[in-house]
């Protein structure tokens, strides 16, 4: 049986939240708290990070490689928000933003975006 090639970060776009004045009454919806951070797509094999704007962010958060080592074996793509929590468990966008500015990853005008965490198992990993 022919398997399609595994998905890459170029094949996937981030899922972005949509504003609404009312909650949907039908369908399969998932709601989460809004965390302020960096919206990234993450590939586990090979390890790579991509911003919602398509920029390579692999060097921005090298500690994510070790954090994702507990994932099941295989190639996975995750869509989520990288956040830093303060002492009370609140997301603090200023902490990773200051780190980004120190490392000169991008101009200061970039801002945070919406949050929704999902992961896909690529066809080759099943």
Identify whether the C-beta of residue 43 lies closer than 8 Å to the C-beta of residue 65: no
21 is catalytic: no
**Exactly one of 16, 32, 34, 101 is catalytic; which is it?**
34
Q: Which residues are catalytic?
A: 34
């Amino acid at each position: 049986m022919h398997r399609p090639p595994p998905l890459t970060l170029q094949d996937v776009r981030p899922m972005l939240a949509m504003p609404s004045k009312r909650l949907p009454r039908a369908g399969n919806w998932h709601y989460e708290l809004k965390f302020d951070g960096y919206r990234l797509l993450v590939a586990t094999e090979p390890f790579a990070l991509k911003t919602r704007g398509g920029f390579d962010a692999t060097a921005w958060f090298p500690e994510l490689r070790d954090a994702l080592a507990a994932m099941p074996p295989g190639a996975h793509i995750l869509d989520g928000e990288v956040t830093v929590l303060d002492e009370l468990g609140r997301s603090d966008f200023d902490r990773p933003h200051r780190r980004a500015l120190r490392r000169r990853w991008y101009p200061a005008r970039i801002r945070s975006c919406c949050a929704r965490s999902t992961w896909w198992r690529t066809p080759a990993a099943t």
